[in-house]
Amino acid sequence: MSFTSLEFLLFLGLCLSLLHATRGLSVRTWLLVLFSYIFSLTFGIGGLALVTFLAVVSFAIGGKIGTAESDRARERWLWLGLCVNLLPLAFFKYSNFIASNVAILLHPLGFNVRVPANVVLPIVGVSYFTFTAMSYLLDVYNGKIEPSHSVGEYLCYIAYFPKLIAGPIVRAADFLPQFRRGFQVTAEDIEVGFGYFLVGAVKKLVIADHLAGHVSMIMASPQHYNAATLLQGVIGFTVQLYADFSGYSDMAIGCARLMGLKLPQNFLMPFSSINIAEFWRRWHITMSTWFRDYVFLPLEIGSRGMRSALVRAARNILITMLLCGLWHGASWNFVLYGGVHGVALAVYQLYSRVRQARSVAPSAFHLGTLGARTLTLSVVLLSNVLFATRTLPAAFTYFNRLLTWSSDGVSLGSPYILPLTALVVVAHLFINKDRNLIEEVSNYSMPIRIFAYSTLLFALTALVASEAVPFVYVRF
């Protein structure tokens, strides 16, 4: 069931009607669990079983961590909980990738390893609810939160349908206190939630879905197109990815807000960033902060014995981003994608240290705002070739033809890519990157609010793409 389908709108309307018609936290909790389970069932019974299994086991282990009498016992329970959550993810998402690479390594030695057929994921978005459960266990272990004492509450935290498939990745410390207050919905919540849902739908249906057709054609066969078309393709893919994924996040945030729950922001004008570190503070925020808190910082703490803090941080950044790339998918394209960003972040860290040390002539190392933004976006665009193509050979073909500016090949003039890219660029240029206009609209005068919502509704009715495209990030 897609957020952009009529079925989902009816489903959401029924859920909200029953939720606000009932009283009592326990009744509302189990009602949300029921609707979250119904939503999961639309993707198959296997996914529902997996979500339930991970939720029940994580709930029980979280309780054991909270009541264990010794640090050693707590650590053992934590490792058990992490393994239980990671094993299904490793099997369903990475088993074929691992088997294929083992077969390649053993083939020169005379071993012919038969690679099994691709394992079918029991549910889309398996990475999201797995990381949600892991963050809960780690936060309980580190004493940041108390373990939940309600099975229904924890089931809803794991399986909550607006964020189940593609995030945002929600922390228990943010979600559970709101949940326990009992879904207190104000008129502002309803208006802001409606605004988020409309903006997300416009991003997805008007921008991302219009771009998807031509972008997919270019990315699928880079050898057939000239360099100008390939540049157009990677720009279009970058904008499509942003509009698609931030659109999903906005719609998820809007759904939750209509229930009185605030999910964390996942995107905040990322193309306004003046360096690669800022980009990752604005792009897929809940994922980047998850890897920062649960991968990078523990690596930093565990390697304090290294003499050079700069080398230590660079190594830990690279490890973190390689794992982040692998999180996106079982492919060397994604691993290399993470590696490119890891190297870029490490180089930026070195550049920042040098600038701080060069107190005599800092201007020699200052790129300027325009140059810094251009360099940042260049890294993002080139790395997205790895993200969008299916294999490394296809990515290398893309890079070769683009960087050598090949003139041979088909020239595709898309009527959507450049205009829609310009629209997104203008928004990033003129909207303050630290403001959230969706949250602010409800404070404006009534004529401005009516105009804003009417414009969004008009765009949805008049400019929607003729063919709906699945959300990009649901496959992760």
Give the total residue count for the chain: 476
Cα 45 to chain centroid, rounded: 25
Give the position of tokens 């990515």. Answer: 395
Scored b (16 or more CB within 10 A) or e, 147-156 reads: bbebebbbbb
Question: Please, what sign has the CA dihedral across residues 242, 281, 174, 320?
Answer: positive
Residue 233, CB half-sphere, CA atoms under 13 Å: how many? 31
Active site residue 149: no
Report the amino acid identity of residue 61: I
Residue 404, CB half-sphere, CA atoms under 13 Å: how many? 11
Q: How many other β-carbons are positioned within 10 Å of the β-carbon of residue 351?
A: 13
C-alpha 291/C-alpha 288 separation (Å) is 5
C-alpha 223/C-alpha 408 separation (Å) is 10
Q: List Cα–Cα distances, 133 to 59, 89, 171, in angstroms.
A: 9, 12, 9
- The angle, 0 to 180 degrees and rounded to 10, between the axes of the packed helices 71-89 and 126-141 is 180
SS3 of 18-76: the string is HHHHCCCHHHHHHHHHHHHHHHHHCCCHHHHHHHHHHHHHHHHHHHHHHHCCCHHHHHH
> In which element (H, E) is residue 385 found?
helix 369-388
20, 328, 366, 428: which is the annotated catalytic residue? 328
Q: Which amino acids are annotated catalytic?
A: 328
